[in-house]
Amino acid sequence: MTLSELAMPRGIESAALPVAGAAPLNTVTLTNSRGTRVRLCELGASLLSVETEDRYGQRDNILLTYADPQHWLDNGWYLGVTAGRVANRIGGARFRIGDTEYQLPANDGPNHLHGGPEGLSTRRWQLVQSESGAAGQSVTFRCESADGDGGYPGNLAVELTYRLGEDDTLALEYRASTDRATPVALTNHCYWNLAGRDGILEHELEIHAQKLLELDAELVPTGKLQDVQGTPVDFRKRKKIGRDIDAWPGGYDNFWVVDESADKVLKPIAELTHPASGRSVKIVSSEAGVQFYSGNFLDGTRNREGGSPIQQYAGLCLETHGFPDAPNHENFPSVILQPGEEYRQTTIYGFSAE
């Protein structure tokens, strides 16, 4: 069902974003009584923008958003998208389930990244439900991925509900089912910048993790975990992102392990703060950890809303999902979804300005 076919409850806004050479992109905006506005798009079930107030009442979009709508169609930086079937990297673009090896398209050197070049992030999802009530507003997107799609086995059905609460939380609730065993590890790939401008090196970050996945030269996990204590990747106590970033070659692009088990219980993951504006985002998730990516490969070739180039460190990602490359490591918590099971994930962003 398209946005034009689905009657929107009072307070939820729908619009069409014109793009050259393609059908307009359908968008929907959720708003709460605090004035927080969350704009979503059917393409990749994307999170386009989040507008919040700072401690002075100044309202800004705290996500990186393309100035040119055309760039959403060629979104090589994955701004705001739902990444999958498997977020992050699968080494060698292949994995095994039982005796069967599956070959995937390589789109990150020899590796497979974020579901591949035609992953869920590139699809126009259907908007199947919308609600508005005293607790807040929500919309649900749905996408179906056929057996063999992108090299993955099984017919996969995915639903993602965005729920903006009156308590200034944004919950992302994922559900998926399959008719054949297949790996599933979904995430949102939005880039945060709580200042609404400039870069993120003055932001402060806390990650509730003692361990980090060790990576090889291609940013694929080796299978080993390393302790963060006394290293530039120790964010157990809140610290400025720019403090140690030069001591970590290439910038941050790593997976912090919050929970080594496969338990899907909600737990504190991280807190991002911008002291000058007072804004903060607290992240709670059912997932095992978080990929913190500091926007190392942003190169200024595209502009953000307002017209300024999206330069290196213009925004950062905090991607909650299962262990990257999990199908290739028996010691990692499994991300294989079996027929008859339901994949469930919840990640909640809590906004405040102090």
What does the alpha-carbon distance between residue 353 and residue 30 come to, in Å, rounded to a whole number? Answer: 20
Interstrand relation of 239-240 and 37-41 (parallel, antiparallel or unpaired): unpaired
**Under a CB-based contact definition with an 8 Å cutoff, are residues 245 and 253 in contact?**
no
Burial class (CB in 10 A: 0-12, 13-18, 19+), 230: exposed
- How far is 216 from 213, CA to CA, in rounded Å? 10
| Residue of 271, 319, 321, 329 marked catalytic | 319
DSSP string, 204-218: EEEE--SEEEEE-TT
Q: What is the DSSP string of 166-198?
A: TTSEEEEEEEEEESS-EE-B-EE---B-TTSSS
CA–CA gap between residue 185 and residue 335 (Å, rounded)? 6
Residue from 304, 32, 23, 337 nearest 162 by CA: 32
Residue 117: other Cβ atoms inside 10 A: 15
Q: Specify whether the CB–CB gap between 311 and 291 falls below 8 A.
A: no
Say if residues 135 and 101 touch (Cβ distance below 8 Å). no
189: annotated active-site residue: yes
For the question of residue 321 being annotated catalytic, the response is: no
Identified catalytic residue from 114, 189, 203, 274: 189
84 phi/psi in degrees, rounded to 5 = 170, 175
Annotated catalytic residues are 189, 319
